[in-house]
């Protein structure tokens, strides 16, 4: 393959993965190095592109997904966008069920990619949209993606995200790896690799301060198939979209049972919003509230760390799908006084 051929891709799916680790230059404390793994470099602009590809290709290989069969899944947005993209590229109809409380731009992006979006009442929370997806799959004979339970979720991070981190830090220090969780696929898959190949790297898990389900120690009630049977009692509404649905997914249960993480740290939604804005204004890095929240925890560790410490944190997605959320509510559309003065010059 020539150098030119290396840039010719057979489809959009082949561009998923190999996202960069970027050094933080303005916001890292003196003597501590922070890198961010920018998952918005994936074609659908989030880490969930990996999961979407894995679910569909795994189901194709097993024969569970038939040519032309409709795919259905419950999602807060990023998995749905990833699945809509992969299904469009492969010729599968896609239907998403999503609680009406999630950002408008997410549903528009999925519809832009040819998907159908079925909204569920916000009062029914994440469990409501999961229940609706299951009902639609059973009634219509559709393929249910089951992102919260499928082994294809953590497996893709063990095959791709983890090895990418190992390769990027080969011969280099990596003292901490920081991540939050939605389904738990990223932490479970990457932790398998780090525990095996970089056991000295401390794994830090984070969750919303007011939805600290894992920290609570209260087990999740489950159905026979492993899916959550009900909302978790420690969950409360929070602004970190994509993190911590109102139940503990089966995928992250492996990390909990095997204590893959060294510490779990809470983060408040306003802190995540603050640091997402700081990353944009001071580093030119545009990430969403989940990325800002992960970075907030990385900063918290960095402030107490010894000189020479190296930290890597995950940035799950981009800022642009948060335009209608609190992340952008203080960002005006009209000129402020200073801009008006400049316009008048």
pLDDT tens by residue, 11-28: 999 999 999 999 999 999
Q: What is the fold of 5-42+161-322?
A: Rossmann fold (3.40.50)
Is residue 114 marked as binding? no
Within 10 A of 87 (CB to CB), how many other CB atoms are there? 22
pLDDT at 103: 82
Same fold? 5-42+161-322, 48-144: yes
Is residue 77 marked as binding? no
Q: Are 180 and 211 in contact (CB under 8 A)?
A: no
Q: Are 35 and 310 in contact (CB under 8 A)?
A: yes
- pLDDT surpasses 50 at 70: yes
Q: State the Cα angle at 127 between 243 and 145, rounded to 5°.
A: 80
Is residue 103 marked as binding? no
Is residue 185 marked as binding? yes
Distance CA 25, CA 322 (A): 25
pLDDT at 111: 96
**Edge to edge, what strands does the sheet with 143-144 contain?**
116-120, 94-99, 71-74, 143-144
> Catalytic residue among 48, 54, 76, 244, which?
48
- Express as a percent the part of the chain with pLDDT over 90: 92
Class of domain 48-144 as given by CATH: alpha beta
**Residue 290 is a catalytic residue:** yes
State the pLDDT confidence band at 4, using cuts at 50, 70 and 90.
low
308-320 average pLDDT score: 97
Is residue 161 marked as binding? no
Q: What is the DSSP string of 85-100?
A: HHHHHHT--EEEEEET
Kindly list the domain boundaries of the chain, sorted by start residue.
5-42+161-322, 48-144
Is residue 186 marked as binding? yes
Which tens digit of pLDDT belongs to each residue from 220-242? 999 999 999 999 999 999 999 88
CA of residue 234 relative to chain centroid, distance: 21
Q: State the Cα angle at 298 between 295 and 303, rounded to 5°.
A: 125
- Does the predicted model carry a pTM greater than 0.85? yes
**Residue 48 is a catalytic residue:** yes
- pLDDT surpasses 60 at 3: no
> Catalytic residue among 244, 255, 290, 293, which?
290
Which tens digit of pLDDT belongs to each residue from 139-152? 999 999 999 999 99
Within 10 A of 242 (CB to CB), how many other CB atoms are there? 28
Backbone φ, ψ for residue 177 (5° rounding): -125, 130
Is residue 215 marked as binding? no
Kindly provide the b/e burial profile for residues 98-126, where b requires at least 16 CB atoms within 10 angstroms of the residue's own CB: bbebbbebbbebbeebebebeebeeebbb
CA of residue 71 relative to chain centroid, distance: 20
């Amino acid at each position: 393959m020539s150098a030119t051929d290396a840039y010719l891709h057979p489809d959009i799916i082949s561009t998923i993965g190999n996202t960069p680790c970027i050094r933080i230059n303005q916001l890292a404390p003196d003597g501590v190095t922070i890198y961010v793994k920018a998952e918005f470099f994936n074609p659908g602009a989030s880490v969930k592109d990996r999961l979407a590809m894995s679910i569909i290709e795994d189901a194709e290989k097993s024969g569970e997904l038939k040519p032309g069969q409709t795919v259905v899944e419950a999602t807060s947005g990023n998995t749905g966008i990833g699945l809509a993209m992969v299904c469009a590229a492969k010729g599968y109809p896609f239907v998403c069920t999503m609680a009406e409380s999630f950002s408008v731009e997410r549903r528009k992006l999925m519809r832009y990619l040819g998907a159908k979006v079925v909204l569920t009442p916000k009062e029914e929370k994440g469990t409501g949209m999961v229940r609706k997806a299951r009902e639609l799959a059973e009634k219509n004979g559709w393929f249910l993606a089951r992102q919260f339970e499928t082994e294809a979720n953590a497996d893709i991070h063990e095959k791709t995200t983890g090895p990418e981190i190992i390769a990027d830090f080969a011969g280099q220090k990596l003292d901490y790896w920081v991540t939050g969780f939605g389904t738990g696929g990223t932490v479970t898959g990457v932790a398998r690799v780090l525990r095996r190949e970089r056991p000295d790297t401390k794994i830090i898990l984070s969750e919303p301060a007011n939805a600290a389900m894992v920290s609570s120690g209260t087990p999740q009630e489950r159905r026979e198939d492993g899916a959550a049977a009900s909302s978790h009692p420690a969950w409360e509404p929070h602004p970190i979209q994509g993190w911590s649905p109102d139940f503990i997914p089966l995928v992250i249960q492996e990390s909990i049972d095997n204590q893959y993480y060294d510490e779990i740290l809470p983060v408040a939604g306003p802190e995540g919003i603050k640091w997402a804005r700081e990353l944009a204004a001071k580093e030119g890095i545009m990430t969403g509230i989940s990325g800002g929240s992960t970075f907030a925890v990385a900063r918290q560790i960095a402030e107490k760390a010894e000189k020479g410490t190296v930290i890597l944190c995950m940035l799950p997605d981009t800022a642009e799908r948060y335009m209608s959320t609190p992340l952008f509510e203080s960002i005006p559309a009209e000129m402020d006084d200073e801009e008006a003065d400049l316009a008048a010059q």
